[in-house]
Amino acid sequence: MFGVSAVVMIAGVRGSYALAGAVTATGLAATAVTAPWVARLVDRRGQARAAVPAAVCAALGSLALVLCVRFGAPDWTLFAAYAATATTPNTGGMSRARWAHLLRGDPGALHTANSFEQAADELCFMLGPVLAAFLCGAFFPEAGTLAGAALLLTGVLAFAAQRGTEPPPRPRTTAAKAPLRAPGMPGRLAVCLALGAVFGSMEVVTVAFADAQGDRSAAGLALGLQAAGSCAAGLVFGALRPTGPARRRLPRCVAAMTVLMILPLLAAALTGSLPLLCGALLVAGTATAPTMVTAMTLVQQLTPEGRLNEGMTLAVTGLLGGIGCGSAAGGWAVEHVSPTAAYGTPVAAAALALLVSLAQAGEVRRSPRRRSGGRPGARAAAWTRCGSARR
């Protein structure tokens, strides 16, 4: 809800999609810096003790943004207020950390649980934009942000109350390597950054396209249908048993997303029809959940033991940073090109994610031979070490 509400609220009151995109990008950039620190506190002190104060601080930041917009404060105050929401706890990462704690040693069940989590996330993404657009349009521009802050507090309090499934806190140790320094993690975070740019640019461009067609409220429905396609795909994907390692599946999933992201561009450019755009977004969304489940599974495998929430939050932080960059790029394309042509922004971001994932896959394939120095015995030993790492 927060992204759509902020864009609708700021663009409606201040009359600038570029300002709205820049504000949301600033807030997400601040989250990219703050979220890993909050996640580290969650791992060390426990989810309930760290997440509740963080959610309260984020809700106060949302309230400050509403007051700044309502009373006509200078533009810079919008950036400061939205940046204050950066302490929002990563409840999705905490939930996945609980599943990993409960389902240790059962990768099949963990795959199903992660797919369910992604489907639940997509359900929120499906209902959130619709609810945000409805509240902002039916009542007043700040209604969506206020409702989102109330739901955030309610959800985090309800989540923190479930103490029976909470993983035990892990005090600071020098044995566990920082997740960011784990082999292969930076490349996977780069993929998450590019994927986030897909989502952020699609959000801003869709709101602007619907506004240009004279029906801003339809943006929530269009984005909700995209999430509905992802939710359905996530449930189907969870019922299947994937073959092969996640590092090999990820480029295929990203390639499917890149191809399907062309559909909204074609629908907007060739027809200009909102109903056809909604249908294209529904189909395009089916690639989101399999891609995200595979990416998160790979991050879980790469994260050192005892720092899983921090590792998952780094992935989500990469997504949020990408959403911020995508929002800014989408807002710029809308104002300097056109809302229709701006649909090329998510296509370009998906193509970038594909190139990075292919580069990572190629690096993994080449690395055992480089370490072995080309000798047969050394190659066998290298493959044995890789197999042990995967296990």
What pLDDT is recorded for position 176? 56
Is 351 a residue whose pLDDT tops 90? Answer: yes
Q: Which of 152-156, 182-186, 208-212 has the lowest mean pLDDT?
A: 182-186
Would 173 be classed as within a structural domain?
no
What pLDDT is recorded for position 306? 65
CA 284 from chain center: how many Å? 16
What pLDDT is recorded for position 3? 79
What pLDDT is recorded for position 151? 93
Would 34 be classed as within a structural domain?
yes
> pTM of whole model > 0.75?
no
| Residue 373: pLDDT band with limits 50, 70, 90 | very low
Q: Say which residues have a Cβ less than 8 Å from residue 34's Cβ, sequence separation at least 6.
A: 86, 87
Nearest-CA neighbor of 187 among 315, 317, 312? 315
Would 176 be classed as within a structural domain?
no
For residues 53 and 30, give the distance between their C-alpha atoms in angstroms, rounded to a whole number. 18
DSSP character string of 294-324: HHHHHHHHHSPTT-HHHHHHHHHHHHHHHHH
Would 144 be classed as within a structural domain?
yes
Residue type, 200: G
Could you give the residue ranges of the DSSP H alpha helices within the chain? 2-14, 17-45, 47-70, 75-83, 91-102, 107-138, 143-160, 185-212, 218-239, 246-260, 262-270, 274-284, 288-302, 308-336, 344-372, 376-390
Higher confidence at residue 372 or residue 236?
236
The residue segments making up the domain with residue 279 are: 2-168+181-390
Q: What are 283-294's pLDDT values in tens digits?
A: 998 888 888 888
CB count, 10 Å around CB of 107?
14
Is 170 a residue whose pLDDT tops 80? Answer: no
Token pair 């911020």 in the structure block, residue = 324
Distances (CA, A) of 311 to 4, 31, 92, 107, 319: 27, 15, 12, 18, 13
For residues 6 and 255, give the distance between their C-alpha atoms in angstroms, rounded to a whole number. 31
Contact criterion met (CB below 8 Å) for 41 and 57: no
For residues 81 and 381, give the distance between their C-alpha atoms in angstroms, rounded to a whole number. 55
- 195: domain CATH number? 1.20.1250.20
What pLDDT is recorded for position 172? 60
Q: How many domains does the chain have?
A: 1
Nearest-CA neighbor of 64 among 48, 87, 42? 87
Q: Say which residues have a Cβ less than 8 Å from residue 124's Cβ, sequence separation at least 6.
A: 227
Is 146 a residue whose pLDDT tops 50? Answer: yes
Would 249 be classed as within a structural domain?
yes
Would 147 be classed as within a structural domain?
yes
Higher confidence at residue 365 or residue 240?
240
For residues 75 and 10, give the distance between their C-alpha atoms in angstroms, rounded to a whole number. 10
Across residues 106-122, what is the average pLDDT? 79
Mean of the per-residue pLDDT values for the chain? Answer: 80
Would 175 be classed as within a structural domain?
no
Contact criterion met (CB below 8 Å) for 328 and 22: yes
| Residue 343: pLDDT band with limits 50, 70, 90 | very high
Distances (CA, A) of 123 to 1, 111, 119, 230, 267: 12, 18, 6, 9, 24
Burial class (CB in 10 A: 0-12, 13-18, 19+), 389: exposed
- Cα torsion 136, 139, 145, 147 to 10°: value is -120
Would 209 be classed as within a structural domain?
yes
